[in-house]
Amino acid sequence: MQNILTMLQINAQNNFYKLRKSVDRNDWAYAAPTDVNAYYDASFNDIIITAAILQAPLFSKDAPKYLNYGGIGVAIGHELTHGFDDIGRQFDKNGNRLPWWTNETSNAFDRKKKCMIDQYNNYTVAQVNISISGEQTLGENIADNGGLKEAFLAYQNWARINPNMDKKLPGLTKYSAEQMFFMNFGLTWCAKLKDQAARLQTQIDVHAPNQFRVLGSTSNFAEFDRVFGCKPMQGNSRENKCQVW
C-alpha cells in the first residue's frame, strides 16, 4: 500500500511539473515498454506498440510471416483504424478536435456504423447470458474489423513480392498460408474468464468479449469466406456484411 501511495505522489508531482511545459509528443502517457499493450492516442494522433507485446503468439522474428501478420499485424492495423473510428475521426492529423470530414462523409459513416452496432447487439455471452452493447463497443469493433482487413491485405502484398518465402509448419502442412493467418489471429484472442469477470467485461468494457472480436470481424470479411470456402449464411459468415472501412 505504501509503495502505491508513493508512486501516486511521484506521478502527481511529475504531472504538476509538466503543467506549464510544452507538450512532449514523444511521451508515453498510458503504457510502459514492459506492458503487453498497444494503443492509439487521438489527441496526439499516434499509436504506441510496446516492446513487451512483440512476442509469441503475436510476433516472433523466426516465425513465418503469415503468423506475424495475423498477430501483431492485426494489432497494428487495429490501432491505425482507431484514427477513423467514432472517436478518432473527430480529431485531425495534429490531434486537434476539429470537424475535418464533409457532411457527406459523416453521413455515410453513420449509415455504415449502424450496421455494426446492430450486428454486435445480437451477440450474447452465453456464459453469463448477457447481451453485448453494440454502441458501447463500437469503436473497438470498427478497429477490429478494419485491422483484420488491413493486415490480411498487407500479408497478400508481402507474399506477392516474396513468393514461396513462407514455409509451412510441421503438422500443419494441410493448411494454406492464408488459412494460418486467420488461425493465428484467432489464437491471439484465446482466453477463459470466470463468470464474475465475464459479467463485468460485458457490462463496462469498450471491447467486445474475445470470442466476438474474432467471430464478428471474420464474419464481415469476404476474404475469410474465400480462404475457408464458406458461403454467406454458412457457419459464421454473414450475408449482409457490415463494412465501415
107-135: pLDDT as tens digits: 999 999 999 999 999 999 999 999 999 99
Residue 62, in any domain of the structure: yes
Would you list the DSSP string of 17-77? HHTTSPP-TT---S--TTSS-EEEETTTTEEEE-GGGSSTTT--TTS-HHHHIIIIIHHHH
Note the pLDDT of residue 197.
96
Verify whether residue 144 is a known catalytic residue.
Answer: yes
Three-state SS at 91: strand
Residue 123 carries which side chain, given as an amino acid letter?
Y
CA 7/CA 2 separation, integer angstroms: 9
Mean pLDDT of 69-92: 97
Verify whether residue 79 is a known catalytic residue.
Answer: yes
Note the pLDDT of residue 27.
76
Neighbours of 98 (CB within 10 A): 11
Q: What are phi and psi of 122, to 5 degrees?
A: -90, 0
Q: What are phi and psi of 97, to 5 degrees?
A: -80, 95
CA 7/CA 96 separation, integer angstroms: 31
The number of distinct structural domains making up the chain is 1
Catalytically annotated residue among 144, 150, 178, 225: 144
Residue 193, in any domain of the structure: yes
Predicted TM-score (pTM) of the model is 0.88
Note the pLDDT of residue 20.
87
Residue 180, in any domain of the structure: yes
Indicate the pLDDT class of residue 235, thresholds 50, 70 and 90: confident
Residue 244, in any domain of the structure: no
Residue 224, in any domain of the structure: yes
**What would the pLDDT profile of 36-50 be if each residue is shown by its tens digit?**
999 999 988 999 999
CA 38/CA 79 separation, integer angstroms: 7
Residue 85 in grid coordinates = 473510428
**What would the pLDDT profile of 220-233 be if each residue is shown by its tens digit?**
999 999 999 998 88
Residue 181, in any domain of the structure: yes
Closest CA relative to residue 189, chosen from 146, 241, 125, 144: 144
Catalytically annotated residue among 79, 86, 150, 225: 79
Residue 41, in any domain of the structure: no
Assign residue 151 the CATH number of its domain: 3.40.390.10
Closest CA relative to residue 231, chosen from 219, 215, 242: 219
64 to each of 81, 165, 166, 169, 186, how far by Cα in Å? 25, 9, 5, 8, 16
Place of cell 465475464: 198
Degrees (nearest 5) of the Cα angle 90, 91, 96? Answer: 135
Domain residue limits at 65? 54-228
Residue 242, in any domain of the structure: no
